[in-house]
Structure 1
Amino acid sequence: MDRFFSLCLQGDINSAMEYLSSIQPKTKEIEKLQQRYIERFFSQKPDENILTEDSWIRDVVSAYHNYFRTVLTNADLMNDAELNLNKSLRMHLKIESPLNIDETENELANIFTEKGYYFLGGVTPPFRGAYIWKRTETVNFNVEIPHQSIPVSVHMMSDFILEGWMGYATFNNRSVGGWANEDGLYCNLNRYKDLEDDHFQVSYLKHEAQHLYDYKYFPGLKSYELEYRAKLVELIYSKNHLILEKFLNDAKNDPDFPHPYASFNIIKNLSSIILKKDYEPNINVWLEKDYKKISSAALELFDKNSRELKTVSL
């Protein structure tokens, strides 16, 4: 299902469903998944799984669900969908003044705080969030990234009600693992069952720590530039081809989607260095290469990018 969920994370439920329909023969699990997606995205009574009894919170989350369904099945309607989302949220806030959606979400955050929840609005490119959760616990780490180690505070988030558009698009099989802010890292604890394995230590901790470093020393980088560097760090410290395979599945040549676009550029540049090709999408070709060679090439690309950024900043 990696390819299916990767298409969902590219914001294209229609293509994901076409891919699912093409799988033959279908297992009972695939048939069940297909029905769940039809009920959520293509029925008049969509699936609503909202983990709270608070009616006001349910109404707010439903407004985001409606927005997600629209943009994930017809991205051309994104602007109209955002206007409708803002209108619906203002109605639940009982605000008549024409606040823009960022102002509206600031008001939402205040009410969620009063109700004992955390709320983060804004955009997870190219669509709006939001993220709503109940508990946060802070843990400190010292994280090795290329050429240095940095101390970081990680705010462990749990008991989510809403995990952004990525969570909604994948029934929370995939969602944002966390993010980096000036006050430290935020970690979606739902995504990490073992804090000692590489999924957390490399794909989350080193990835996000690199963001913290880059925010400080290379301010103003675009989202896909930040993701390019952090994903290279994952490849540098990974022990096998698994993360590379994930990047291959996720890759998309579209800068509106920072994570897939960064993956695309990484595969493109690694193909040039290792295979002397423009772009190699076949994982079997990569599996024939000793992973140490891929890791070394990732470090070469990372250092090259750092030199270029330092030259620009001079």
Structure 2
Amino acid sequence: MSKELAQFYSLCLQGDVNSAVAFLRSVPSKTEEMEALEARFASRFFSPPHVEISASDDFVRNVIYCYHDYFRAVLTNQTTAEEAEMELVNKISRILHAPSSATIDSLEEALAAAFKERGYHFLGGVTPPFRGPYIWREERVLEFEVELPFAKRSVTVHMMSDFLLESWIGFATCENKHVGGWAKDNALFCNAICYKDLQAAEFQISYLKHEAQHMDDFLHFPHLTPADLEYRAKLVELIYSADHQVLNKFLLEAKNDPQFPHPFASYRILNNLSRLVFEKEVEKEASMWAKKEYSTISAAAFSLYENDTNALKQNFGHRVKQFL
């Protein structure tokens, strides 16, 4: 992927489609792929907006269109997130014939039941900072043993496929970027389209160890914020990685905005690693990091993880008696 496209998608994943499209339009010599993207984003986000939905069920299509309108509003700053959510509640309430006083959480519980009757899985909630469900049809269940820096975990992974909606992240990138998955207290959920080779580092480290770390933290440190959870899981990725590839991804996505846990965690890691590796406030250039042996970066990531774990053990006290 070119640097221009990487920057474009980075802005999309920061929830700023306006800036992403403005950046794409500013590229002087566009490739055919860039021109096609520009046209597709114009069709999706601007007048007259249009998105194809593969489902034939009118109920399913109408619900998804409601979320599309919500995504469009928050991703292009048409209104505030609060106002967009109120409008979403109004639309979903009418579809479900629910009282206007219903909360979005109760409406999404009802939607989950309705989608189940139609053969779909529906998971509502928030992928910070925006709402937006994941809707998929197929899944298979696998079991794995996962080694973490200070623990081993047996995990159940639900491999999901045939998605109709991947929350706001899929919509913001015209389905060119995917949510890899997520962790719950007792299981992991994985988007199978992202991981063709289950022995590759992308799955074994960037998905499996990352999400297993979340599960471990849910158990031992249950009050961590999403940004704190991502900070620790991303450090685990760096500890077990063999080269600079994951770090380069973090460098690109880093953003000092706690509303976006993934970019903010990368920003924290970039700052903290820079102090250890370069003895300076922040080093943003990938070329400078490339000059460092990766073993040095991995060791620094382990030091940050160990220090963070020790601090959390002190703060959580009695909650971590079974830790290690």
Structure 1 residue 96: deviation in Å?
A: 3.1
Shift of 1:295: 0.7
Instruction: Give the RMSD, CA atoms, in angstroms.
Output: 1.1
Q: Cα offset for 1:248? A: 0.9
Post-superposition Cα deviations, 1:269-309, rounded to whole Å, max 9, x if no partner, equal 01111011111111111111111111111001000100110
How much identity, in percent, do the aligned residues show?
A: 50
TM value normalised by structure 2: 0.94
Q: CA deviation at 1:110?
A: 0.8
1:232 is paired with a residue whose SS is helix
- 2:236–2:305: 8 Å Cα contact kept in structure 1? yes
Alignment-derived partner of residue 34 in structure 1: 38
- Alpha-carbon shift at residue 43 of structure 1 (Å): 1.7
Q: Deviations over 1:180-202 (max 9, x none)?
A: 11221011112112111111111
Q: Are 1:164 and 1:175, in contact at CA under 8 Å, matched by a contact in 2?
A: no
Counterpart-to-counterpart distance in 1, 2:179 and 2:249: 15
**Contact 2:234/2:265 (<8 A) preserved:** yes
Match 1:60 to one of 60, 63, 72 = 63
Say which of 241, 244, 248 aligns to 1:245.
Answer: 248
> Which amino acid in structure 2 is aligned with residue 35 of structure 1?
A
- Runs of 5+ unmatched residues, structure 1: none
Name the SS for the 1:144 alignment partner. strand
* Deviations, residues 219-277 of structure 1 (Å, cap 9, x unaligned): 11000000000000001111111111111111110101101000000001011110111
**Counterpart in 2 of 1:77?**
80
Counterpart Cα distance in 2 of 1:172 and 1:305: 35
Residue 125 of structure 2 corresponds to residue 122 of structure 1:
yes
What SS does the aligned partner of 1:158 have? Answer: strand
Aligned pairs (5 A) from 1:63-212:
63-74=66-77, 77-212=80-215
* Corresponding residue number in structure 1 for 2:322: none
* TM-score, scaled to structure 1: 0.97
Deviations 1:148-186 (A, max 9, x none): 221000011111000000011112222221111122101
Secondary structure of residue in 2 paired with 1:109: helix
Following superposition, which runs of at least 4 residues in structure 1 exceed 6 angstroms of deviation? none
* Paired residue total: 313
| Residues 1:19 and 2:30 are matched in the alignment | no
Task: Measure, in 2, the Cα distance between the counterparts of 1:170 and 1:292.
Answer: 34
